[in-house]
């Protein structure tokens, strides 16, 4: 069961600073664009596949979280069985019960967080 506080923080970062500071702040963000798995207890193969899928979806639907999560969910259902749940967003908290060895929680693009889990 999954309850989520869906607070969509519009992460519009306005850096009104001098050139140096802006460069410093931009660099970490640029560096943070790679996908980073925060917590996962999936098998190795499943994990890589799911991660690739998430990255593809988020890049394709960069503007719409809903479309991205829809794509992820449908693909996961097809590949790994029914009842996957996907949350894509920038600011939320969650507490979920999931089928063991079917959870992936990762960050992407410096500001997106994606939680994918299976529960029937």
Partner 1 sequence: MSALEPKILMKPDDQLDLTPEELKEEFTRILTANNPHAPNNIVRYSFKERCYKMTMGVNQLAVHFSMDGNMLHKESDEGRRQLARLGLADSGAATEQNLNDMEIPGEEELEVEGEGEEAEKDAPREVPAVKPPETALRNQFNYSERASQTFNNPYRERGTTTEPPPRTNFSATANQWEIFDAYQEDLERQERQKEKQKSRDKDNEKKSKGSSSEPGTGDEIQRIGIPAKIVERMVNQNTHDEIAQDFKYWEDASDEYKGNEGTLLPLWPFKSEKGKKLSVTAVVFNPEYNDMFAVGHGSYDFLKQGAGLICVYSLKNPSFPEFTYTTESGVMTLDFHPEHPWLMAVGFYDGGVAVYNLREKTNVPSYSSSAKNGKHTDTVWQVYWQDNDLDNNLNFFSISSDGRVTCWSLIKNELHNTDIILIKLNHSSSPDPGAGGLDLACGTCFDFHKFTDYLFLVGTEEGKIHKCSKHYSSQYLETYDAHHMAVYAVRWNNFHPRVFASCSADWTVKIWDHNYIEPMFTFDLGNSVGDVVWSPYSATVFGAVTDDGQVHIFDLSQEKYNPLCQQSVVQKKKTKVNHLVFNKHYPVILVGDDRGNALTLKLSPNLRKCLKDKAYSRENEVEKMEKLLELVREPQEEMTA
Instruction: Report, in Å, the least distance between residue 33 CB and partner 1.
Output: 9
Count of residues touching partner 1 (by CB under 8 A)? 32
Is 89 one of the binding residues for partner 1 (CB under 8 A)? Answer: yes
Is 79 one of the binding residues for partner 1 (CB under 8 A)? Answer: no
Is 36 one of the binding residues for partner 1 (CB under 8 A)? Answer: yes
Tell me the C-alpha to C-alpha distance, in Å, between residue 101 and each of 30, 42, 62, 91, 118.
31, 5, 28, 25, 9
Is 90 one of the binding residues for partner 1 (CB under 8 A)? Answer: yes
Which DSSP state fits 82? S
- Residue-wise DSSP of 33-75: TS-EEEEE-S-HHHHHHHHHHHHHHHHHTSS-HHHHHHHHHHH
Return the residue of 58, 72, 103, 116 that touches partner 1, per CB under 8 A: 103
- Rounded Cα distance between 7 and 99, Å, is 26
Q: Which residues bind partner 1 (CB under 8 A)?
A: 9, 11, 28, 31-32, 36, 38-39, 41, 89-100, 103, 105, 107, 110-113, 115, 117, 119-120
């Amino acid at each position: 069961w999954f309850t989520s506080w869906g607070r969509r923080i519009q992460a519009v970062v306005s850096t009104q600073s001098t050139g140096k500071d802006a460069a410093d702040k931009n660099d970490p963000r640029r560096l943070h664009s790679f996908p980073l798995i925060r917590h996962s207890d999936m098998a190795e193969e499943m994990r890589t596949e799911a991660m690739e899928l998430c990255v593809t979806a988020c890049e394709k639907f960069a503007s719409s979280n809903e479309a991205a999560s829809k794509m992820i969910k449908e693909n996961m259902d097809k590949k790994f069985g029914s009842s996957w749940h996907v949350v894509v967003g920038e600011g939320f908290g969650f507490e979920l019960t999931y089928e063991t060895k079917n959870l992936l929680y990762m960050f992407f693009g410096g500001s997106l967080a994606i939680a994918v889990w299976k529960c029937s």
